[in-house]
């Protein structure tokens, strides 16, 4: 049985929307939410190819691609909000029965 979905996450078949704890600037616009589209195998392979052996860089590359924002924007997130983004991603890609 899976844990209930946190209030800050909204998951659909197409992606996950994460409500941030405080507004952040993405692509030059202040927002209070960020959406990651569901990844494809191509997205994963591209992030791995550009991130080399650096796990954190690969993850940043992937999240930036899925959200269509710059890596620098994600690096400016409060740690709490980046953790929310990670939680949303892992909920998005997990099996439905987990």
Residue 3 lies in a domain: no
∠ Cα 65 37 17 (to 5°): 110
Please write the tens of the pLDDT for every residue from 53-91: 899 999 999 999 999 999 999 999 999 999 999 999 999
Can you give the pLDDT at residue 13? 86
Helical residues (DSSP H) of the chain, grouped into ranges:
41-51, 55-67, 71-75, 79-93
pLDDT category, 51, cuts 50, 70, 90? Answer: confident
Residue 83 lies in a domain: yes
Residue 16 lies in a domain: yes
Question: Which structural domain, as residue segments, surrounds residue 49?
Answer: 9-93
CB-CB contact of 98 with 2 (8 Å): yes
Residue 98 lies in a domain: no
Residue 88 lies in a domain: yes
| Cβ-based neighbour number of residue 48 at 10 Å | 14
Residue 25 lies in a domain: yes
Can you give the pLDDT at residue 2? 62
């Amino acid at each position: 049985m899976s844990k209930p979905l946190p209030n800050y996450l909204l998951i659909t078949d197409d992606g996950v929307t994460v409500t941030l704890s405080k507004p952040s600037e993405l692509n030059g616009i202040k927002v209070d939410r960020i959406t990651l589209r569901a990844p494809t195998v191509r997205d994963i392979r591209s992030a791995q190819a550009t991130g080399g052996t650096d796990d954190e860089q690969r993850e940043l590359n992937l999240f930036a691609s899925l959200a269509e924002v710059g890596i620098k924007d994600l690096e400016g997130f409060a740690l709490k909000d980046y953790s929310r983004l990670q939680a949303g991603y892992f909920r998005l890609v997990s099996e439905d029965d987990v």
